[in-house]
Every structure is written in C-alpha cells, then in structure tokens.
Amino acid sequence: QKEVEQNSGPLSVPEGAIASLNCTYSDRGSQSFFWYRQYSGKSPELIMSIYSNGDKEDGRFTAQLNKASQYVSLLIRDSQPSDSATYLCAAINQGGKLIFGQGTELSVKP
C-alpha cells in the first residue's frame, strides 16, 4: 500500500464546474498535509496546506481534512482552463518524511 494515494485520473471537468480531488494516507501519525499544483515541465508549487480537521478555504480552493478517515481532499470552484495541471497530495509522516501521492491530472475544458 502506498503511503499517500490519489486517483491518477485524468479528471476532466467543464469550465465553471467544481473539480474534486481526493487523497488518502496510511500513516495515522501524519500531521501536516499539502496540495501542490504542477504544470507540465515546471516544478510543484504549493497551493494549500492543512493541519487540522475540517475545511480550509483560500479563494476558489478548499482543502478538507478528516484524520479519522485518513482522507484529504481539494475542491476547486469555478474551474478555469488555467487550472489544468497535475495536482499532488503530500503528507509529512510520523518519521518526518514529506511523501507525495502519484498525482491527479486535471483537465478543465472551455
């Protein structure tokens, strides 16, 4: 079992729709969780971090964390073609390692 798992996609949504990206993690001792966006040929850039249960909103992005279910999600409202990228879920496990999921490719169609 991978430590951090995501649906690899691709996930395709129409412009203006909500994109929902999901992630599960196996190390119950993980405390810090992140969503990164990576455009093709570029480096990952942080878009959200979340450390406690519940929702965290930043503009069109909402991260959700449920530690009991070991589940992290990212919602992108009013999706734009410029949101088309690979989204990487990451967690810092109990050993202090920053571990990434395999990424979900998102395509937003105009």
Partner 1 sequence: DTAVSQTPKYLVTQMGNDKSIKCEQNLGHDTMYWYKQDSKKFLKIMFSYNNKELIINETVPNRFSPKSPDKAHLNLHINSLELGDSAVYFCASSQEGIEAFFGQGTRLTVV
Q: Is 54 left (phi over 0), alpha (psi -120 to 50) or beta?
A: left
Task: Count Cβ atoms below 10 Å from residue 14 Cβ, excluding itself.
Answer: 10
d(CA 60, CA 102) in angstroms, rounded, equals: 23
- Which 25-84 positions form the footprint of partner 1 (CB under 8 A)? 31-32, 34, 38, 42-46, 49
Q: Tell whether residue 88 is a contact of partner 1 (CB under 8 A).
A: yes
Q: Tell whether residue 102 is a contact of partner 1 (CB under 8 A).
A: yes
Q: Tell whether residue 110 is a contact of partner 1 (CB under 8 A).
A: no
Residues that bind partner 1 (rule: CB under 8 A) add up to a total of 23
3-state SS string for 47-86: EEEECCCEEEEECCEEEEEECCCCEEEEEECCCCHHHCEE
Q: How far is the CB of 16 from partner 1 (least distance, A)?
A: 26
Binding segment (CB under 8 A) for partner 1, from list 15-23, 65-73, 75-83, 91-99: 91-99
| Residues found near partner 1 in the complex (CB under 8 A) | 31-32, 34, 38, 42-46, 49, 86, 88, 90, 92, 95-100, 102-103, 105
